[in-house]
Amino acid sequence: MKRYKYQALVTPRSADDGDTLTAEASQRVVVRAVNIETHRSQLFRALLDSDGGTTPFRPGSSQVLVTLRLLGDDVCDCLEVGSHFALWRGADIGDGVITRRLYV
């Protein structure tokens, strides 16, 4: 499996079960993205870090700059600069867009 690292802008939103993004240093999430060629949704496990760590995640707040670290062989088939994705943890907890790829 290959490692990928992206910078993204994320807009947090509240989940029905109360699960939301937190201001923790790192947290595990699932990234749901659409394959560029097949238009099928794919899920990837990810580690999300808030850049700077000073801006807390709040449902409905403005966008927050984050770093996403993902593992997978077909991540680049779904995520490139400008790609939209959803953050999921039992329910959608945020929406985002890739701003740049960071090389590991």
Distance CA 25, CA 7 (A): 15
Q: Residue with structure tokens 């700059």?
A: 65
Token pair for residue 9? 């802008």
Give per-residue pLDDT as tens, 44-93: 999 999 865 555 565 556 788 899 999 988 899 999 999 999 999 888 88
| Band of residue 35 on the pLDDT scale cut at 50, 70, 90 | very high
Q: What's the token pair of residue 96?
A: 């985002």
pLDDT at 1: 86
Backbone angles phi, psi at 77, to 5 degrees: -75, -20
Q: To the nearest whole number, what is the mean pLDDT of the chain?
A: 84
Residues 6+ apart with CB under 8 A from 44: 30, 31, 33, 70, 71, 72, 75, 78
Q: Give the predicted TM-score (pTM) of the model.
A: 0.82
CATH 2.40.10.120 fits 2-102, yes or no: no
State percent of the chain over pLDDT 90: 53
